[in-house]
Amino acid sequence: MAGLVGYGCTGTLYIGDGDMIEVSMNTPAWDITDLTPLWAQFDVRGQDRRLPGTNGVIPYRRRFDVTTHELPIVIIGGADENGTPNSDGWVGLEDNINTLRQYVIDPPNPPGSTGQHAARLVMPSGQERFANIHVLGLRVSEAQGTDDGLNAFMLGSLNISIPRGVFVPA
C-alpha cells in the first residue's frame, strides 16, 4: 500500500458534502496532521459590566461563539484516499485536490441550505463529537515534486468555521 503512513494520530475528522457522502480527512492521500485544536480550543462572547464608583465588575455569563481554525493538511499525489498508488504524482495530486474540492471544500448549495457541512470528529479514544461547519477554503503554503511526478505533495491548511463554536458529543 502506498501513501502516507501514521495518518490520523490525533483523531479522525469526517466532513459530509450534504448528500450523505462523508469524507475522511485522514487518509493515505491527505491528512490533517493536528486535530487537537478541535478538542478544546474555542472562542466565547460576552463581557462583564463596569459600574461607576464601585470596585470590580458585575460578571456576566460567557457563551460559545463562532470559532475558526486553520488546520494543517498535507496532500500527496503518490496514492489515492484508499492507498492505491498513482503512476504520476502530479496527476495524482491534481485528482486528490479535485476530490477534496468536490466533496469538502466547495460549499454545498442545495435549495434552503445554510452552506454548512456536517462534521464528525472521532477522538483517539473512539468518542465521537459532532458539529456543523463552514469550510472557508484550502490555503496552499508549499507544493513540491520532481519532473517525473514522484513524491509530489502540497502543504497547506484547511480553514473551517464552527458557527456554534465547538464539537459536542451526540
Residue with cell 472562542: 43
| 4 located within any domain | no
Q: Is the pLDDT of residue 1 over 60?
A: no
Q: Which pLDDT band, with edges at 50, 70 and 90, does 21 fall under?
A: confident
Residue with cell 484516499: 81
| 49 located within any domain | no
| 55 located within any domain | no
Q: Cell numbers for 158, please give them.
A: 484547511
| 3 located within any domain | no
Query: Is the pTM here over 0.85, yes or no?
Result: yes
CA distance 94 to 75: 10
Across the chain, what does the average pLDDT equal? 91
| 54 located within any domain | no
CA distance 120 to 58: 38
Report yes or no: 12 and 122 within 8 Å, Cβ to Cβ: yes
| 85 located within any domain | yes
3-state secondary structure the chain: CCCCCCCCCCCEEEEECCCCCEEECECCCEEECCCHHHHHCCEEECCCEECCCCCCEECCCCEEECEEEEEEEEEECCECCCCCECCCHHHHHHHHHHHHHHHHHCCCCCCCCCCCEEEEEECCCCCEEEEEEEEEEEEEEEEECCCCCCCCEEEEEEEEEECCCCCEEC
Q: Are strands 153-162 and 67-76 parallel, antiparallel or unpaired?
A: antiparallel
Residue 132 lies in domain: 12-44+64-169
Give every CB contact of residue 121 below 8 A, 6+ residues apart in sequence: 11, 12, 13, 14, 35, 38, 128, 129, 130, 131, 167
Average confidence (pLDDT) over 152-164: 96
| 117 located within any domain | yes
pLDDT tens sequence across 50-84: 989 989 999 999 999 999 999 999 999 999 999 99
At 49, give phi and psi (nearest 5°).
-110, 130
Please give the tally of structural domains in the chain: 1
